[in-house]
Structure 1
Amino acid sequence: MTTTYWFLLIGLLMLARGLAATTIARLPITSSIAYLAVGVVLGPFALGIFHFDPVARSHILETATEIAVLISLFSAGVKMPVPITFKRWAPSIRLAWVSMSITVGLVAAFAYFVLGLPIGAGVLLGAILAPTDPVLATDVQVRHAGDYDTLRFTLTSEAGMNDGSAFPFVMLGLGLLGANELGQYAWRWALVDVVWATLGAVAIGMASGAALGRLGWALRNQEPKHEVLDDLVGLGLIGVVYGVSVLLHAWGFLAVFFAGLALRHTELVLAGAHKNRQGLLVPDDPKADPANDEVPDPETTPLTVSGESLIFKEHLERLSELTLVLLLGGMLTLQAWNWRTWGTALFLFLVARPVSVLLGLAGSGATMRVKLIVGWFGVRGIGSLYYLMFAINHGMPPGLARDVIDITAIVVALSIVVHGISVKPLMDRYWRKK
């Protein structure tokens, strides 16, 4: 397809999505399913009008998925209820680290014993498929700043953290394949890739978000007052935090998520927010929170970088979702639909994810209904595609690349369909019972 046809295709899809927003909201499908269907029909699986080769275009796809995940993680961090308390965040921390590790182990064992892949490739595949997605799972995640629902909070905060906690396993898998230095007895991996990269990322993100929150508040509310371009400032924070994290060998995804979280917390504290009965910070006037759905009063609303830039970030999320899911459809081939790819997807959805969630949340106090819903809605998406491209560009042996690409593409495609179809009826049923 020429550039002109790509403009036409993307433009038509954007028009259709924008004009049919109400219709799609009433249907038992998500917009991602529609984009995927268009990609499959136009791709090599059906008409063959275009074919996206992930190996030949791995650098472009890595950058595109990287940007999409970063924007989504920042938006998720901004919408998180604050302040952070161990009691509220403990289930999410368990999911992001304990359940993540169990999922990687189970998928690695399946890949080694059933698929016949080397153990390094199995660990790498587990790391690619284990993290839940912050981009495509918007229907089950926190909808706006001030959304205090426990289920949506758990799913969102898990997705925000496990995109960083998966990175050590990606590096471990590459190390076992000879593409990354692990050190004797894996000491370098444990100290640098696990301990420092994780703690350093949290520290960089929290410090940067808090500093920007105070600077923005001072510019707006102290004499002489200054205008602040919130969209640019929000994007700038993402770029700076991610760049500093990468330079210091910390996990940038984790840092950006906590930067958004710290930014909102700092701005709420400076605005004089009070704690509600749940112990969460809320604006004194809920209508005066610009990140909420209600129209703020321009005379009383304290402008914040987190609130004013959120809508723009969500528009970028929708554009990246459209483009990347369409390209995913163009990656799928008839040969990729085999027992290995289907089997991996079924094992992940029906065994690895539910088992890891039940074990990770054991003794947490979460009800069985919440555990089962969280265990089902482990949506895979753009994050998995990013890790796949990262592995290809950082030394994954070419002989293994095609197997891992086919498995990942089919798992993500099936996740978009099965989770997308089930999200609305299951969430409606959950809310009715609640």
Structure 2
Amino acid sequence: MTTLFIFCLIGACGIGAQWLAWRWKIPAIVVMLVVGLLIGPTTGVLQPHAVFGNLLEPLIAAAVAMILFEGGLTLHLARLADAEAAVKRLVIIGGPLVWVLATLSGHYIGGLSWASASVLGGILIVTGPTVIMPLLRQASLKRRPAEILRWEAIVNDPVGALAAVLAFELAIVSYSSHSLSITLGHMLLGIAIATAIGYLGAWLLILALRKGHIPEYLKVPVMIVSVLVIYTIPNALLHESGLLAVTVMGMVLGNSSVASLDEIRRFKENITVLLVSAVFILLAADVDFATLASLGWREVLFVLMVLFVVRPLAVFLSLIGTGLPLSEKLIVGWIGPRGVVAVAIAGLFGGRLVDLGVEDAAILPPLAFAIVAVTVVLHGFSLEPLSRHFNLKSTAVKGLLIVGANPFSRKLAEAIQSTGRPVMIADRNWKRIRSVRGHDIPCYFGEILSEEAELDIEMNQFDSVVALTDNDDYNALVCVNYGPEFGRHRVFQFAPSRGDIGDSAHKAPETLGGYYFGNGLDYDTAIERINAGWCLRLTRLSKSYTFEDYRRDNPEARVISAYSEGGNVRVMTRDTRFEADSDETLLALVPDDTSADKARRYEARQADTRPSASDDEQGSPQPDG
């Protein structure tokens, strides 16, 4: 089996697991765990140590550094406003509490030596951004608890690694002739240098980007190489202090106003998805079932202690006085899945402790993996139902964000609200937004493309965006901006207005914006028809009133979307042939016909289905009524 085939296998399994998780609506990390175990210890198809040898550890370490850097890029200080006190307490108070409680549990319940227990306790501070991010994305948790969990996961990753480093350095003191004062001084110096290097690296990159010293096509490659360099340099002084350096570097860059940062961030997100998938597949495939089976009842009791006592108790004690409601404390206290970083650091320090003479440290990697597996499965499957139970889910049914206040968008918002779905109209013009405020429609006054809008609007309640302003270029810009967040198939806009089309050679490419919804409906046509008395009407189809019947009754109708009983929404675009099922409800722009018009069409349709005289003579059944 060639190395190239192994690389292809890892990539296919990792991304395939991500896709299956998206398709089945279950936590991606659970699927990756199962797939890794299947191709690794179960079948023996993938044996990471046999394939990569000594390169396995540095490959995983570099991947973890890239993951933490990307996580730091997503941490905007402005978003921390609602969760700042809670996050500070979880890092400053909660982290040390988890370390102390887990160390005591590991020694007295798990039967580990103090050296092994203290190293594992430091590792368990880490809650795993590689697991938290997909869970939050899928569960649609409300902003404040989501931001608390997100910030804690990313900030505590290097904190947990440094705690494990401190415990390891203390073990060196115990098992060698090194003095405690020299060891602690060495560690503090390493932390200070790592922080300074991370900040300096970010500052130099920002300066180079702003002054145009890096060409556009080299920005991402330079960023990737810089992350690896910033991670490697501090590690030469203190093991794993590079994790702190790359996290600081990501946070400084993420909170700057550097041009092209959004494009860089999105590219990094794609790389992170690949790295998370590959690393977790490798770690799961590297598990030894025999070692896992050797875990006794004391280790099992320790895992349960970590799950049900250590994490919840540390969170509740650290959040005293923050003013958070009990429901949010319960969610934060329960959700603490461990991920790639915990397993990687456990494998790293476990081997080094064994070399020092700490024999029971050999159990750290399988014990850490067991904790990861249990927390991933339990927390992954429980977050969504618990968030729904505590009313912390952003919304049970996803809705629509409408950009542009006008008579058509107001009618569209009212029609969607009547289906029970959330809707919001956003506009930066006060006069236009005022025209819809009196119709009991949620509104946002401001620039929808600004960072303030992302902070003020609960975006998790929407799954689609439609840009309906009179400016075609602005509509396209809105769709380009929100396409990566909602998905390109979930951003829509008016088609270019008739007077703006001009020569096709001078038109902007259709791929630049969103889909043209309503069979190519444009702003001028929509407003003209609303002003002429047309309306947006919902019509329920059935077996007795099919889509063909609807088309015959409403030949001029422009179908906007169709809603199924299961909650799925299909939007009519210009480049698709729209067909509706008998259990769907249509939303369409139609003439506001009088009752006489409807009765006349109904009689015509009945006449079309009435048997002819020749059929009656042959004994055909007569219609009822």
TM-score range, shorter chain: 0.7 to 0.9
Q: State how far apart, in whole Å, the 2-side matches of 1:409 and 1:209 are.
A: 33
Q: State how far apart, in whole Å, the 2-side matches of 1:50 and 1:247 are.
A: 32
Shift of the alpha carbon at 1:208?
Answer: 2.4
Kept in 1, the 8 Å contact 2:172–2:178? The answer is no
Kept in 1, the 8 Å contact 2:158–2:247? The answer is no
| Structure 1 residues 190 and 168: CA distance shift in structure 2, 3 A | farther
What aligned pairs does 1:43-192 form with structure 2 within 5 A after superposition? 43-44=40-41, 46-51=42-47, 59-82=54-77, 89-140=84-135, 149-178=143-172, 184=179, 186-192=180-186
Bigger Cα Rg: 2
Q: State how far apart, in whole Å, the 1-side matches of 2:251 and 2:203 are.
A: 9
* 1:231 and 2:220 aligned: yes
Report the counterpart of residue 207 of structure 1 in structure 2.
200
Report the counterpart of residue 394 of structure 1 in structure 2.
352
Q: 2:22 aligns with which of 6, 22, 25?
A: 25
Report the structure, 1 or 2, having the larger strand content.
Answer: 2
Q: 1:39 aligns with which of 36, 41, 59?
A: 36
CA offsets 1:73-98 (integer angstroms, 9 cap, x no match): 11111111235989854432322232
Q: State how far apart, in whole Å, the 1-side matches of 2:215 and 2:48 are.
A: 47
Give RMSD over aligned pairs: 3.4
Deviates more, 1:106-115 or 1:385-394: 385-394
How does the TM-score come out when normalised to structure 1? 0.77
* 1:260 and 2:250 aligned: yes
Shift of the alpha carbon at 1:375?
Answer: 1.6
CA offsets 1:50-84 (integer angstroms, 9 cap, x no match): 55569x97843432331222112111111112359
Kept in 2, the 8 Å contact 1:91–1:361? The answer is yes
Report the counterpart of residue 411 of structure 1 in structure 2.
371
| Structure 1 residues 138 and 58: CA distance shift in structure 2, 3 A | farther
Q: Which letter does structure 1 place at the counterpart of 2:256?
A: T
Q: Which letter does structure 1 place at the counterpart of 2:116?
A: A
Shift of the alpha carbon at 1:312?
Answer: 2.4
Q: State how far apart, in whole Å, the 2-side matches of 1:371 and 1:59 are.
A: 43
Report the counterpart of residue 13 of structure 2 in structure 1.
13
Q: 2:289 aligns with which of 330, 333, 354?
A: 333
Q: 2:380 aligns with which of 412, 416, 420?
A: 420
Task: Kindly indicate whether structure 1 or structure 2 has the higher relative contact order, using CA contacts under 8 Å at least 6 residues apart.
Answer: 1
Q: 2:235 aligns with which of 231, 241, 246?
A: 246
Shift of the alpha carbon at 1:119?
Answer: 0.8
Shift of the alpha carbon at 1:231?
Answer: 1.4
Report the counterpart of residue 218 of structure 1 in structure 2.
211
Q: State how far apart, in whole Å, the 1-side matches of 2:4 and 2:31 are.
A: 22
| Structure 1 residues 188 and 101: CA distance shift in structure 2, 3 A | farther
Q: Which letter does structure 1 place at the counterpart of 2:35?
A: V
| Structure 1 residues 246 and 432: CA distance shift in structure 2, 3 A | closer
Kept in 2, the 8 Å contact 1:80–1:142? The answer is no
Q: Which letter does structure 2 place at the counterpart of 1:361?
A: L
Kept in 2, the 8 Å contact 1:43–1:50? The answer is yes
Kept in 1, the 8 Å contact 2:350–2:364? The answer is no
| Structure 1 residues 99 and 76: CA distance shift in structure 2, 3 A | same
Q: Which letter does structure 2 place at the counterpart of 1:263?
A: L
CA offsets 1:174-197 (integer angstroms, 9 cap, x no match): 24433787964x33344432x443
| Structure 1 residues 3 and 214: CA distance shift in structure 2, 3 A | closer
Q: Secondary structure at the match of 1:166?
A: helix
Kept in 2, the 8 Å contact 1:91–1:364? The answer is yes
Q: Which letter does structure 2 place at the counterpart of 1:381?
A: G
| Structure 1 residues 366 and 187: CA distance shift in structure 2, 3 A | farther
Report the counterpart of residue 296 of structure 1 in structure 2.
none
Kept in 2, the 8 Å contact 1:165–1:198? The answer is no
CA offsets 1:333-390 (integer angstroms, 9 cap, x no match): 1551442443222111111111111122222233322222122221211111221232
Report the structure, 1 or 2, having the larger helix content.
Answer: 1
Q: Secondary structure at the match of 1:407?
A: helix
Q: Secondary structure at the match of 1:38?
A: helix
Q: 1:365 aligns with which of 323, 326, 330?
A: 323
| Structure 1 residues 426 and 232: CA distance shift in structure 2, 3 A | farther
Q: State how far apart, in whole Å, the 1-side matches of 2:147 and 2:45 are.
A: 41
| Structure 1 residues 52 and 78: CA distance shift in structure 2, 3 A | closer
| Structure 1 residues 204 and 86: CA distance shift in structure 2, 3 A | farther
What aligned pairs does 1:378-393 form with structure 2 within 5 A after superposition? 378-393=336-351
Shift of the alpha carbon at 1:248?
Answer: 5.2
| Structure 1 residues 206 and 87: CA distance shift in structure 2, 3 A | farther
CA offsets 1:163-217 (integer angstroms, 9 cap, x no match): 2222343233324433787964x33344432x44334433332332133223201
Kept in 1, the 8 Å contact 2:14–2:281? The answer is no
CA offsets 1:6-61 (integer angstroms, 9 cap, x no match): 3453354256347xx3x6336352222112112223333x444455569x978434
* 1:308 and 2:266 aligned: no
| Structure 1 residues 8 and 255: CA distance shift in structure 2, 3 A | closer
CA offsets 1:96-115 (integer angstroms, 9 cap, x no match): 23212111111111121122
Shift of the alpha carbon at 1:219?
Answer: 0.8
Q: State how far apart, in whole Å, the 1-side matches of 2:200 and 2:63 are.
A: 23
Shift of the alpha carbon at 1:414?
Answer: 1.7
Equivalent pairs counted in the alignment come to: 385
Q: Secondary structure at the match of 1:116?
A: coil
Q: State how far apart, in whole Å, the 1-side matches of 2:262 and 2:4 are.
A: 36
Q: State how far apart, in whole Å, the 2-side matches of 1:142 and 1:38 are.
A: 21
Q: State how far apart, in whole Å, the 1-side matches of 2:359 and 2:298 are.
A: 16
Q: Which letter does structure 2 place at the counterpart of 1:207?
A: L
Gaps of 5+ in 2: 396-457, 459-625
Report the counterpart of residue 198 of structure 1 in structure 2.
191
Q: State how far apart, in whole Å, the 2-side matches of 1:229 and 1:367 are.
A: 47
